[in-house]
Amino acid sequence: MPLIELSGIERRFLLGDTTVHALAGLNLTIEAGEYVAVMGPSGSGKSTLLNLLGLLDRPNAGTYRLEGRDVTTLTPDEQAKVRSARIGFVFQSFHLVPRLTAAENIALPMTLAGFSPAERDQRVAQALKDFGLDQRADHKPDQLSGGQRQRVAIARATIMQPPLILADEPTGNLDRHTGDEVVRLLEELNGRGVTLVVVTHDPTLGARARRQLVMEDGRLKSDSAVG
């Protein structure tokens, strides 16, 4: 059973009296453990695709199966549960909660999911160590560098140990060196079996993935797995 199966996905946005076909009849299968780069020009539908995969958005038509289960027809509450347990999302602009410390940001998904403080604190301490943040646990996001913020974001995305990580231009706000470190962290997770889908317009980063998807006008222009 594939991890992800999209069939006939349509996503339209109404802008004034024109309809933008952000995704137009998209079919896509991703197996567990894959490392996939999504590329293509600005406006081609990359973020729309990732938001749908992350259950942050719904298609106007088509079916999304995650781990064999049709998640398109779930209620918002049910989708939130699936998202919390099965999907980690990393954004270009980090999306940390400004008034929470690094440790509290990382803990947030476990707090919301109702884990016991003991288990939560233990996992957060381990994550701070794993991501080289133990000296930064009590810092707020504005007291952290860009690279540190993105490491907090990745720690938060993985604290629930989801099988799927989605990253939308995760290095877009970082310098080359810091970006490379962030990519290495994501690739380490993939090396341990986590499925990794990364949107990027950086060809060097895209080429590191084992599979490249290229989007154009809401469609898949090419898929290296299909040739």
Where along the sequence are the contacts to Mg ion (CB under 5 A)? 46-47
Min dist. Cβ of residue 45 to ligand ADP (A): 4
From the list ligand ADP, Mg ion, none, which binds 2 (C-beta under 5 to 8 Å, kind-based)?
none
150 binds ligand ADP (CB under 6 A): no
Determine the residue with CB nearest Mg ion.
Answer: 47
Given a contact cutoff of 8 angstroms between Cβ atoms, the answer to whether 107 and 124 are in contact is: yes
Among 16, 18, 42, 118, binds ligand ADP (CB under 6 A): 42
Q: Which is nearer to Mg ion, 47 or 195 (CB)?
A: 47
**One-letter amino acid identity for 132?**
G
Single out the residue of 167, 141, 146, 162 nearest to residue 89, CA to CA. Answer: 167
Instruction: Give the torsion sign (CA, 133, 117, 157, 225).
Output: positive
Among 47, 92, 101, 171, binds ligand ADP (CB under 6 A): 47
Instruction: Give the torsion sign (CA, 61, 23, 172, 209).
Output: positive
Report the alpha-carbon distance of residue 92 to residue 138 in Å, rounded.
23
Q: Which is nearer to ligand ADP, 52 or 160 (CB)?
A: 52
Min dist. Cβ of residue 198 to ligand ADP (A): 13
43 binds ligand ADP (CB under 6 A): yes
**Residue 136: strand, helix, or coil:** helix
Min dist. Cβ of residue 166 to Mg ion (A): 12
Report the alpha-carbon distance of residue 97 to residue 100 in Å, rounded.
6
DSSP state of 33: T
146 binds ligand ADP (CB under 6 A): no
| Six-digit token string for 53 | 């995969």
Report the interface residues with ligand ADP, using CB under 6 A: 13, 15, 20, 22, 40, 42-48
